[in-house]
Structures are given as C-alpha cells and as structure tokens.
Structure 1
Amino acid sequence: MSFQAEVFKILIASPADVEEERTAISQVISRWNDLNAERENVVLLPVKWETHSAPLMGDRAQGIINNQVVHTCDMAIGVFWTRLGTPTGVSESGTTEEIDWFIENNRPVMLYFSSRAIEPKKVDLEQFKNLKDFESRMQKIGLTGSYKSIEDLREQLLGQITNNVRDLLQGIPKPAPSESEVKEKVKTIKKIAKSGKIYIEDYEKDGEIRSFVVKGDTKPIKEEIKELGGKWNRSLMGWIFPKTRELEIAEFLKQRA
C-alpha cells in the first residue's frame, strides 16, 4: 500500500577510485528504505553527479554540479581510498569542495577512509599525500570513520544513516566542532571512562589503538548501542566501536548516565 513519506536526498561524494564503495552505498540506502521507510515515513534517495547532473555552459564544471546536485541534498556520504581528486580552482578537489559546503551549511556529513590493501605500484603518491592531509584536517573536527572491507562499510553505514535521519527529522543542525571543543570532549570521555556503571576503555590490537570498548551494565541500552553500530565482543565483554566515533558515543553515554 502507498504511504506518506518525507524524502531526503543523500549525496554520494568520492573520487574515481572507489566505484565498488559507491555501488555499496547505494545498496545500503536501498536496504535502509526496505527496513525503515514505511515505519519512519521517510524515503532516502541516493544522489550521484553522474546520474543527477546535466551538461550546461557558463560556469566551471564543479560549480554546475554544485548548483544542480550538491546544494539540493540533505546529507552527504564521502568515501576515499587512495585518491583525493582533481583540484577545482576553489578546493583541493571536487569531492572536498562538496564536503566543505555541507560542513559550512551544518548539514550531516559521514566520511569514511578505506584501510583496504593498496598495490604500491598503482598509487599516485601526490594524490595519496593530498588525501592524508585532508583526512588529518577532517579528523581534527571529528568527522571521520574507517573501514577495512566493503562489508564493513555496509555494516557501519546502515546504523549511522539512521542517526542522521533522526536529526534531520528533528531539524537538528550538524555544526562541526572546533579543535578546542574536541579537546574539551576528550576530557569528558576520560571522566566517563573512570566512573559510572557504563564506561569506555581503549582496545589495543597489533600494537595500535583503533577501537574502544563500551563496558559495564549496558543491558538497558543494548538495542540503542546496536543501532549506533556497536559490535558485541564476547571475550572483551563489551561493545566495540572505531576510535573515530569516541566523541559521539561518549556524548550518547553521557545523556544516558
């Protein structure tokens, strides 16, 4: 049966070396619609420049894409692997120009950087350096996530899309935190880690800390943690999240304390 629904457009932003990821993101959005659209009265529409823009003279190429595609979207998902893209004359690449616009306009942005294996001979070193510089800039304002496989990306996206849809429905803007705000939130994380029935611990693997674990009496908020993308680890007796989401999860736990 038909139903009334609000439509949100999601821009899929990326350079040219992540075609598999772009396809996966569209599939995840479709899966989200199958699971949630009728219950939430929301339909998500994936938007790509190659399918939603048309040839037009009178402006630079990225400017045309911005007007026809980017500025009409409610949310963006950016994904990167080895390349940043081609400079536009305004930004380091078309993708970064799009992402910067979403940040400046307080619209939700989800950024993912691949940790998949790379063949060194196929890497453009200048592009890779530019990408790492951009990733570092985004990490300072807490906007990045990482994935080790296409399936890992799918799993993370499905839950995180839900969080941003809820914010859109409530009209909550997504301003990027300043570096000073990030430092202040880190202090809050440390306090949460030392007190209360639920706490956070870093998870070290292979000599690196890329994840953290939420432990303690999580049973009352188990379903919410699962929706946020937490993965239960029986041996650690806690919920694992990537380190890049520590601020977000700490804020969630603070609200539930």
Structure 2
Amino acid sequence: MIASPGDVNDGRQAALHAISSWNESNTRTRGVVVVPLRWESVVPQAGDHPQAIINAALLENADALVGIFGSRIGTATPTAISGTVEEIDHAIADGKRVHLWFSTAPHPNDVDVEQLAALRKFRDDLAQRSLYGTYANADELIAKVWAAIEGDIAALGLGTPEPVPTRSGVKLVVQSGSDNISEQDSRGRLRNRVRRFIDVRNEGDVDADELTARAGDRPANILYEGDRPRTVHAGQLQRFRYDLSFADGIPTSVEVKWAEDGELHERVFDI
C-alpha cells in the first residue's frame, strides 16, 4: 500500500515507478507480482467514514506499506491526526512491513505552518519507536522503494529465484536525451526550455554499486548529483540531468565508475 498526504504526488509516482520496474525485471523469473494499492483506485462507496472504506479496501489486503511525507501530516480522521497516520498505525499493529520516508526537498512558499509543525512532531515521536528514512528527489526514492521491495519479498518468503547457471554481470547502456518544457515567465509569457539528461541503464543481472557519472570531456562535472554514489539495480535506470552555459556544448562522452561484487570498474561511453 502507498500511503501519503496529498502534497507528495512526485513521491507517489516514484513509488509506482519502483514497483513497475521491479515487476518488469523480476516477475517472470521469480514468480512474484507486486501490486500497488492506492486510494485513487478505491471504488466510491457510501455508508462509512472514507478512511474506514480505504482501510477495508486497501490496508486489510496489503502485505506491506510505504509511507511518504513532504510538508503536510494530512487530514484528521475520527481516530487519528490524519488518514495516513491511521493507516501507518494500523499496519504496525497488524504486524505488516512498514517503510516511511520524509522528503528533504525545500518546502513550498505557501506551506501550511500548522501542518508542518504537526508533521515534525509526528516524525519526532516516530523516531522513538521506528527507523524512518529520507529522500531528496524522486530518483533517490525509487532506489529506496526498490530495496524495500527486495527486503519484503525475502521477509515474506515469497518467490524463490530460479537457479541461474551463469551471470552476465553489470551491463550499462548510456544514452543522452532531452525534453522540451513550456513554462511561463514573470510576465505570464510562454517560453520553451530544453531539459537535457543522461540516462544510465543497467541491463545486466547484477547491481552496479557506488555508481557515479560525469561528462567525460569536461573539467568539472556538469551532471546534477553525478558525483553522489548510488546503486543502480539490475534492470533499473538512473537519470542525470544537466544544464549548459552559453560556452558549453553538449557532452560527447560520459565516464561512469561503479563497483560490481566489490570490484571497482570504470568506462567511458560515447554518446
């Protein structure tokens, strides 16, 4: 179950992406499908409080819960300070696997200070009885939800992997791309902006650990957070965005470093 207040749509989409990509990489060989349960899929129904309907439709059918918070605690219910907190408390009481992450991204300018204060109090109380995590952006949350799924599958005793006689190892594919984005300036005029990125996909069957990436023909790394090591799981894609100054040209190569089963590797990819 994906539980959250309504201000973290990017986080909810990241959790969905992690589940979808995990299924694409593992369902056929491991015989397990991870089904995302969300309030958006609940059929409208009368006769009970909305939270009770959501609990019956989703929480009671969930093996694990992913909770995501931004700057709001959520709307109160008859029995809890928010629907999300009620879902979390019920899941913990039922002995379900529960994973909680709090966003460290800057809060919006119109943040509700009462909601933010309530969220911080909940987080501080939670620290006395649980271990929670944080995430800075959607890409980081995708990797963390993926890791949580792996832990849940093992803890629940689901999906024994088929014997694999040989492993292909890490197989990285590096590609460049761009998106055209329309946005308004301070005068309300539309303008187009190009958002460029480098995609690093691991098409192998072994995780690429401690992976970093940098534009190979630049003295300084122009890839956003490219120097921050991260794990690119088998079948997973990691996207590095970058901006160009007037003096820069589009990079022609990318230098990638990673660890595979504890052994360090590096390679320059032409793009």
Partner of 2:127 in structure 1?
Answer: 139
Q: 1:56 aligns with which of 27, 39, 45?
A: 45
1:149 is aligned to 2:137: yes
Query: Gaps (5+ residues) in structure 2?
Result: 159-205, 213-228, 232-271
TM-score (normalised: structure 2): 0.58
1:77 is aligned to 2:66: yes
1:81 alignment partner AA: G
The Cα shift of 1:30 comes to 0.6
Task: Point out the more displaced range, 14-23 or 32-41.
Answer: 32-41
1:111 is aligned to 2:97: no
The Cα shift of 1:138 comes to 1.8
- Does the residue aligned with 1:45 lie in a helix, a strand or coil? coil
Partner of 1:127 in structure 2?
Answer: 115
1:144 alignment partner AA: Y
The Cα shift of 1:240 comes to 8.8
TM-score (normalised: structure 1): 0.61
Please tell me whether the aligned partners of residues 78 and 111 of structure 1 are also in contact (alpha carbons under 8 angstroms): yes
CA pair 127-68 structure 1, distance change in 2 beyond 3 A: same
- Does the residue aligned with 2:6 lie in a helix, a strand or coil? coil
Partner of 1:244 in structure 2?
Answer: none
- Does the residue aligned with 1:122 lie in a helix, a strand or coil? coil
Counterpart-to-counterpart distance in 2, 1:230 and 1:164? 21
How do 1:28-47 and structure 2 match up within 5 A? 28-47=18-37
Please tell me whether the aligned partners of residues 114 and 146 of structure 1 are also in contact (alpha carbons under 8 angstroms): yes
- In the alignment of these two chains, the number of paired residues is 168
Counterpart-to-counterpart distance in 2, 1:79 and 1:135? 12
- Does the residue aligned with 2:52 lie in a helix, a strand or coil? helix
- Does the residue aligned with 2:156 lie in a helix, a strand or coil? helix
The Cα shift of 1:57 comes to 2.0
Point out the structure with the larger helix share: 1
Partner of 1:23 in structure 2?
Answer: 13
2:58 alignment partner AA: V
Q: 1:161 aligns with which of 149, 162, 168?
A: 149
1:145 alignment partner AA: G
- Does the residue aligned with 2:154 lie in a helix, a strand or coil? helix
Counterpart-to-counterpart distance in 2, 1:240 and 1:152? 8
- Does the residue aligned with 2:144 lie in a helix, a strand or coil? helix
Counterpart-to-counterpart distance in 1, 2:157 and 2:20? 19
Counterpart-to-counterpart distance in 2, 1:104 and 1:44? 22
% identical equivalent positions: 33
Point out the structure with the larger strand share: 2
How do 1:213-228 and structure 2 match up within 5 A? none
1:49 alignment partner AA: W
Q: 1:92 aligns with which of 58, 78, 81?
A: 81
Counterpart-to-counterpart distance in 2, 1:80 and 1:14? 6
Please tell me whether the aligned partners of residues 109 and 143 of structure 1 are also in contact (alpha carbons under 8 angstroms): no
Query: Deviations 1:215-244 (Å, cap 9, x if unpaired)?
Result: xxxxxxxxxxx97x97479xxxxx999xxx
Counterpart-to-counterpart distance in 2, 1:108 and 1:74? 7
The Cα shift of 1:86 comes to 0.5
Please say which structure displays the higher CA radius of gyration: 2
- Does the residue aligned with 1:79 lie in a helix, a strand or coil? strand
